[in-house]
Amino acid sequence: MNKTIILKARMKIKFLLPLVAIIFAGCAAPMKTINFDSQPQGAHVFMTTGINEDSAKGARDYLGTTPFQWTTETEGDGTFKIQSAGIPFYSSFVQSVVVFTAEPPNDATNLYTKKEVYHGNAQFQHADKVPQGIFFDLTKP
Q: Is residue 99 part of a domain?
A: yes
Give residue 24's Cα distance to chain centre: 21
Q: Specify burial of residue 98 (Cβ count, 10 A radius: 0-12, 13-18, 19+).
A: buried
Q: Is residue 109 part of a domain?
A: yes
Q: Is residue 117 part of a domain?
A: yes
Mean pLDDT of 21-33: 67
Q: Is residue 132 part of a domain?
A: yes
Q: Is residue 96 part of a domain?
A: yes
pLDDT computed for residue 99 by the predictor: 93
Q: Is the pLDDT of residue 34 over 90?
A: yes
For residue 121, the enclosing domain spans 31-137
Yes or no: say if 100 and 129 are a contact pair by the CB < 8 Å rule. Answer: no
The helices-and-strands tally (H runs, E runs) of the chain is: 1, 7
Q: Is the pLDDT of residue 36 over 90?
A: yes
pLDDT computed for residue 85 by the predictor: 45
Closest CA to 31 of 66, 78, 93, 63: 78
Residues forming beta bridges with residue 72, ordered by sequence position: 32
pTM of the model: 0.74
Count: domains in the chain: 1
> Which tens digits make up the pLDDT trace of 72-122?
999 888 998 886 545 555 566 667 889 999 999 988 889 999 999 998 877
Q: Is residue 55 part of a domain?
A: yes
Q: Is residue 72 part of a domain?
A: yes
Q: Is residue 6 part of a domain?
A: no
